[in-house]
Homo-oligomer: A and B are copies of this chain.
């Protein structure tokens, strides 16, 4: 009892004794902040003193800031009084390291114009939510939760939910990958897969090859980890193999990794040919450079020709780490991706995963597994291949028709890439924004030598009307910059 060790003596005024006792208890934290004190009537009964003494004590405590009253509710402790006397300000900007600084500086969500109502935005390459099979998903949830709800809601395994892993091994097998000495780690989407690989097997200063331009998240992660990026151009002729071989001989034996996106490369939309996949694989193999293959949107291949992933060339070896993801086109909100690699590599990555985030939501893994197993994914893919394929063709035609360009790239997928003739994309973006249209300026995808005359147009969530309207505006703005007086 809070007042049991208050013995009222005869020397000091009673209200002072009560006041000192309470202020002391608040300072020591024995009366927690914001906890309710007895009413003056109650306390006078507890202490067997006159109510006036208590009222007086409370008044002084209030004016000293130890307690406060809320009308109709009572009197409460304000234990922060003492602490607040001297303020404490940690200088977090000083404490911030390179990782945090890079992540903040390269955070496009914070630095790029964001969507506002009535804008036609070509920025996003996330899928159109209205295409999701919510009913299928509901079924999968209800199915899994009734079969093994308490298991899925409790701790699971870092490597992932076993039925999902097995399903994905089979799935990769169908893509031509011999999985007999391979294994799979489930990750929070592509991003965590790449982060885990690079933070397990690289040290600051290590060299890594990547296409230039490439996925901005990848550049961000590589820079945050202080890697030396060896960039190799990719343009209307595909990957520049001459440049690649030059750099290989220049940095011989120094390079640890190569990061590559062979299908619907982000941002150019190029799909690498089988011959180039072979050539690239054999070059890396010759130079003992491990390959990180980004299976980005591979599932989307509109035509029926299946092009094998580079991982399928590595069957008896251990040089390719393949990152797949269902969080690009299926259900990005679920954040489920995977790394397929040599068993020994996956075992290491599993421990790193456990160290960083324990495991991916088992509920989500269970739902996704059920959805895949019951054919939901295949049905969905059939539907969206046509849906996005039509949009791609339309956007590609419109861009050619309306935007003065040097070239336009894209083999399908959810975006196209436009190379302008020496027009600054930032100036263009400002002009377009005034007219209610935005896009992703291409410079954010370049490693060092920012190219200012490219743009990525994502069309997945736009109507045909808006695609045409928006691209017309972009084309008009390009012409306005080309001919300022017209």
Main secondary structure on A side of the interface with B = helix
Contact B129 A138 (CB under 8 A): no
Residues A155 and B345 in contact in the complex (CB < 8 Å), given A95-B201, A352-B99:
no
Residues A104 and B348 in contact in the complex (CB < 8 Å), given A84-B315, A154-B127, A308-B33:
yes
Closest residue of chain B to A347 (Cβ to Cβ) is: B104
A221 contacts across to B, CB distance below 8 A: 355
A348 contacts across to B, CB distance below 8 A: 92, 96, 100, 103-104
Interface size class of A (residues with CB under 8 A): 35 or more
A90 contacts across to B, CB distance below 8 A: 288, 290, 317-319
Contact B333 A156 (CB under 8 A): yes
Contact with B along A74-97 (1 / 0, CB 8 A): 000001100110111110110111
A318 contacts across to B, CB distance below 8 A: 88-90, 92
Contact A220 B331 (CB under 8 A): no
Contact with B along A18-36 (1 / 0, CB 8 A): 0000000001111011110
Contact B334 A363 (CB under 8 A): yes
Residues A200 and B333 in contact in the complex (CB < 8 Å), given A191-B357, A275-B30:
no
A361 contacts across to B, CB distance below 8 A: 333-335, 361, 364
Q: What copy number does this chain have within its complex?
A: 2
A188 contacts across to B, CB distance below 8 A: 188, 357-358, 360
Residues A132 and B103 in contact in the complex (CB < 8 Å), given A203-B97, A344-B92, A345-B92:
no
Contact A178 B100 (CB under 8 A): no
Closest residue of chain B to A89 (Cβ to Cβ) is: B318
A88 contacts across to B, CB distance below 8 A: 285, 288, 314, 317-319
Pairs A–B under 8 Å by Cβ, sample size 14: A27-B278, A28-B278, A32-B306, A32-B307, A92-B342, A92-B345, A96-B200, A100-B201, A107-B355, A109-B157, A110-B351, A130-B150, A335-B361, A356-B356
- A interface residue numbers (CB < 8 A to B): 27-30, 32-35, 79-80, 83-84, 86-90, 92-93, 95-97, 99-100, 102-104, 106-107, 109-110, 126-127, 129-130, 132, 134, 137-138, 141-142, 145, 149-158, 176, 178, 188-189, 191-192, 195, 199-203, 217, 220-221, 224, 256, 273-275, 277-278, 281-282, 285, 288, 290, 306-308, 312-319, 327, 331-335, 342, 344-345, 347-349, 351-352, 354-364, 367
